[in-house]
Amino acid sequence: MFSVCTDPSLLSGFDWFACYLTTPKHLTFFGSFFLVLLLIAVVAPVALGLGFAAAVASRSASPFLSLPGRGYVALARGVPDIVFFLFVPIALDQAFEYLRYLMICPDQPGGVWQGNDFIVCSAAKLPLSTAAPIWHSVYGFGLAVISFGIVFGAFAGNVLVGSFKAVPIAQIQTGASFGMTDSQIFRRILVPQMWVFALPGLSNLWQILIKATPLLFLLGLQDIVYWARELGSSKTGIYAYPHPDWRLYYFAFLLIFYLGLTAVSEAAYKRLMARLSHGQGTIASAGKTSLRGGV
Amino acid sequence: MLAKRLFEAGSKGMSSCFETIQAYGLRAIGIGERLLPKTDITLCEQMVLIGSGLIWNVYFGILATGFGFWFAVFLSLGRASPLAILRVASAGFVFLFRGSPLFIQFFFAYEAFVLLPKVGLTLDLGVVVIDATTGWLTKAWAGALFVLFCNTAAYSSEIFSGAMQAVPNGQIEAARASGMTKFQIFRRIMFPNMLRLAWPAYMNEAIFLFHSTTLVFFSGFPAWRQEGDALYYASYFAEKTFNPFVPYPIVAVYFILITLIIIGFFSVTGSYLNRSVPQQRRVKPRFRPLLWR
């Protein structure tokens, strides 16, 4: 990257580190931190949407809607999440390839299950073996987003079901006595009021989501954990920048990254909560108004 | 298609399944057949081997919560201590372990246990001093247990601290008025009340910790001689059979069963802790399995 870096063997001290930390592989490592942030940014709205849909469905009077809704929310209970993270991507991958097999080469001899193997014709493989490496990464990331979305959607559904119940019944009764329809009550009373009850649970989920991101590594993606292991392992003299086993320092760096992310989220949550409880008539908002000399 | 495969797997007969239990029932702790099944994997083999892996999950779960509980009590006392250094130290410990992913903690601890003795550095953990003689800490049974212990202590101390704040002040005043010493007040008033108030949340913590034990063998700690936990064997089977629809649901069912046992244990002990409280004011444990760490 810098002009002094052309011959690393001559470098020492600060120059060595400056060149070492700006090798193309290290730049990929730093880039993979954005992968983590991207995953959080994509999964959060997906999970919130799925969870909201599930919570609304589970409140429905029709069992055709409420049963799937409840079943989905209950899915994440009792089973370690990591089981889902291992299961969902493989299952989805096989489901996609099976569908493509039905479309592209349904008359494949022997079918897809051959002994202990799952085989589809090469034209039905996802991504195609001729595809550029970037598509393999994109496909892997897509599967990761879907599995994170499904798992965290169930969690978010769980939180939202509770916060729907927490809205005071008198509010809904008042709405009904004004002659509002069910959907008017839902849109104008229930949804605007439930968020403040959902926020503590959702903030908890946000922290959980942040701390679940290293599991990308288990899905085979080249994420920060992968690069920390790769770059940190000891490099002999045949490498341009030989060094002993530095994985400890790389993982310490990851640890600090996550601690920072947690601290920032906590501070942001406090500010958001203060804003949302403004004027809600709770203890949190009462403290504010009394400072200004009563309501 | 799935049903047909299950049927084929089941039709090999019950007697061979009994042999499988003998061969693989204790495989996870190194007793029985050395080689794992490679071809013609039956449903019975999957259930037995995954069940055998459960030994490790239960081992980590019971020991980490058992020891972590007491450490958590000390941490919450430290956070309420008048000494600033104790307060800062315990709050820092809790922030470190609650603010970072358990997965990274496992990796970090493993590298620390492997590397530090190698470069001749010693690390004083308080309980044990890491040096060249502590190679056993790089093994999952000790190293991962240590991380899980610290992790659950940090999460539980957060719960206990909250519960200590919620102990009714009148009870403390009454105890002081009747001339109890500080230790007596803690032992007889604070601690039982705190435990009672914290129990429902603590049950969730115990369940989360039990679920987190599945991370151990995916996070740097090697499964020595393929002796791993339930999820380790499940992913082994998923890899060998290319069929995730059998081993992962097996793990799920096992975990749901043990989760129910944990809930049962906490309900019974919870009603014991609440025995002197009027019926309607009791804190009932509610199963709210939500957290990931």
Residue A294's pLDDT is: 35
Q: Chain B contact for A21, CB < 8 A?
A: no
Tell me which amino acid residue A100 is. R
Decide if B147 contacts B102 (C-beta within 8 A): yes
- B247 to chain A: closest CA residue: A87
Q: Chain B contact for A205, CB < 8 A?
A: yes
Average pLDDT over residues A97-107: 80
Phi, psi of B178 (to 5 degrees): -85, 10
A207 versus A121: the higher-pLDDT residue is A207
B17 versus B282: the higher-pLDDT residue is B17
Cβ separation B215–A86 shorter than 8 A: no
Cβ separation A204–B292 shorter than 8 A: no
Q: Is residue A7 part of a domain?
A: no
Whether the predicted pLDDT of A158 surpasses 50: yes
Cβ separation B234–A86 shorter than 8 A: yes
Residue B126's pLDDT is: 55
The model's pLDDT over B148-196, given as tens digits with 9 standing for 90+, comes to: 999 999 999 988 988 888 888 888 899 999 999 989 999 999 999 999 8
Contacts of B252 in chain A (CB under 8 A): 78-79, 83
Domains contained in chain B, number: 1
The model's pLDDT over B56-97, given as tens digits with 9 standing for 90+, comes to: 999 999 999 999 999 999 999 999 889 999 999 999 999 999
Q: Is residue A120 part of a domain?
A: yes
Query: HEC string of B261-281?
Result: HHHHHHHHHHHHHCCCCCHHH
Contacts of B40 in chain A (CB under 8 A): 116
Average pLDDT over residues B270-286: 72
Average pLDDT over residues A46-63: 88
Residue A290's pLDDT is: 38
Distance CA A15, CA B126 (A): 38
Q: Is residue B222 part of a domain?
A: yes
Look at residue B124 and give its three-state secondary structure.
strand
Q: Is residue B17 part of a domain?
A: no
Q: Per-residue confidence at B140, pLDDT binned at 50, 70, 90?
A: confident
Distance CA A146, CA A43 (A): 8
The model's pLDDT over B207-246, given as tens digits with 9 standing for 90+, comes to: 889 988 998 988 878 887 888 888 999 989 888 888 888 8
- A154 to chain B: closest CA residue: B290
From B111, B255, B293, residue closest to A211, measured CB to CB: B293
Average pLDDT over residues B47-64: 92
Contacts of A155 in chain B (CB under 8 A): 290
CB neighbours of B143 closer than 8 A, spacing ≥ 6? B109, B110, B113, B137, B221
Q: Chain B contact for A158, CB < 8 A?
A: yes
Mean of all residue pLDDT scores within chain A:
80
The model's pLDDT over A272-293, given as tens digits with 9 standing for 90+, comes to: 877 776 666 555 554 444 333 3
Decide if B284 contacts B270 (C-beta within 8 A): yes
Residue B123's pLDDT is: 60
Phi, psi of A116 (to 5 degrees): -95, 20
Distance CA A250, CA B125 (A): 21
Whether the predicted pLDDT of B286 surpasses 70: no
Mean of all residue pLDDT scores within chain B:
82
Query: HEC string of chain A?
Result: CCHHHHCHHHCCHHHHHHHHCCCHHHHHHHHHHHHHHHHHHHHHHHHHHHHHHHHHHHHCCCHHHHHHHHHHHHHCCCCCHHHHHHHHHHHHHHHHHHHHHHHHCCCCCCCCEECCEECCCHHHCCCCCCCCHHHHHHHHHHHHHHHHHHHHHHHHHHHHHHHHHHCCHHHHHHHHHCCCCHHHHHHHHHHHHHHHHHHHHHHHHHHHHHHHHHHHHHHCCCCHHHHHHHHHCCECCCCCCCECCCHHHHHHHHHHHHHHHHHHHHHHHHHHHHHHCCCCCCHHHHHHHHHCCCC
Domains contained in chain A, number: 1
Q: Chain B contact for A116, CB < 8 A?
A: yes
Residue B89's pLDDT is: 94
Q: Chain A contact for B37, CB < 8 A?
A: no
Residues 238-257 of A with CB under 8 A from B: 244-245, 247-248, 251-252, 254-255
Distance from the B91 Cα atom to the nearest Cα atom in chain A, whole angstroms: 13
Residue B289's pLDDT is: 43
Q: Residue A206 sits in a domain of what CATH number?
A: 1.10.3720.10
Task: Work out whether strand B129-130 and strand A117-118 pair parallel, antiparallel, or are unpaired.
Answer: unpaired
Of the listed ranges A15-24, A55-64, B206-215, the least confidently predicted one is: A15-24
Query: HEC string of B130-189?
Result: ECCCCHHHHCHHHHHHHHHHHHHHHHHHHHHHHHHHCCCHHHHHHHHHCCCCHHHHHHHH
- A153 to chain B: closest CA residue: B290
Q: Per-residue confidence at A115, pLDDT binned at 50, 70, 90?
A: low
Reference B43, options B280, B258, B241, B252; nearest CA is: B241
Task: Work out whether strand A113-114 and strand A117-118 pair parallel, antiparallel, or are unpaired.
Answer: antiparallel
Residues pairing with B129 in the sheet: B124
Contacts of A94 in chain B (CB under 8 A): 242, 244
Distance CA A124, CA B72 (A): 54
Q: Is residue A8 part of a domain?
A: no
Q: Chain A contact for B177, CB < 8 A?
A: no
Instruction: Identify the residue among A86, A88, A206, A269 best suited for mutation to test binding to B, counting B beta carbons within 10 A and taking the highest.
Output: A86
CB neighbours of A292 closer than 8 A, spacing ≥ 6? none
Whether the predicted pLDDT of B111 surpasses 80: yes
Retrieve residue B284's tokens. Answer: 């009932």
ipTM comes to: 0.78
Residue A280's pLDDT is: 60
From A76, A217, A262, residue closest to B99, measured CB to CB: A262
Structural domain for B87, as ranges: 59-246+261-281
Structural domain for A136, as ranges: 28-247
Q: Is residue B168 part of a domain?
A: yes
Cβ separation B238–A90 shorter than 8 A: yes
Contacts of A81 in chain B (CB under 8 A): 211, 292
Residue B142's pLDDT is: 86
Tell me which amino acid residue A147 is. S
Q: Is residue A263 part of a domain?
A: no
From B105, B111, B256, residue closest to A248, measured CB to CB: B111
Instruction: Identify the residue among A82, A94, A165, A261 best suited for mutation to test binding to B, counting B beta carbons within 10 A and taking the highest.
Output: A82
Long-range contacts from A5-14, C-beta under 8 angstroms, 24+ separation: A8/A240, A8/A241, A9/A240
Helices (H), chain B: 2-10, 14-24, 43-79, 84-99, 102-118, 140-165, 169-177, 182-185, 191-212, 230-241, 247-273
Retrieve residue B209's tokens. Answer: 């910790």
Of the listed ranges A109-118, A135-144, B161-170, the least confidently predicted one is: A109-118
Q: Residue B115 sits in a domain of what CATH number?
A: 1.10.3720.10
Q: Is residue B54 part of a domain?
A: no
Contacts of A77 in chain B (CB under 8 A): 287, 289
Tokens 């007491």, located at residue = B70
Cβ separation A208–B96 shorter than 8 A: no
